[in-house]
Amino acid sequence: MGLTSIYEFLRDVRGMDEPASLAAKLAEASDPNSVITEMALSARSEICEKSMDMFVSAYGAEAGNLALKVLSVGGLYVGGGIARASSKSSRTAPS
């Protein structure tokens, strides 16, 4: 499950609106995930924001599952580009 897959689900199955300008940006982009993330973090697209919220929720849940699976008593370090972008989104996402 990736960010683009969540975006496509919201667009195709849930029928969320995809503005023509966003569709053009996604078609031109070599990495649609970066476009979706940029649009979500700048609050310029409802579908991108919802996609990012769902992704961050699943990402956090899986991090929690991993901590339980390995009996992590000292915590869990999550790093990388996805974690950095997700942390920006999770600060503004409703709890």
Would you write out the chain's pLDDT as a tens digit for each of its 95 residues? 599 999 999 999 999 999 999 999 999 999 999 999 999 999 999 999 999 999 999 988 998 999 999 998 888 887 777 766 666 655 454 54
The CA distance from 35 to 22, in Å, is: 9
The CA distance from 59 to 90, in Å, is: 11
**Closest to 77 measured CA to CA, from 87, 67, 85:** 67
pLDDT at 60: 87
The CA distance from 85 to 82, in Å, is: 5
pTM for the full predicted model: 0.79
- The residue count for the chain: 95
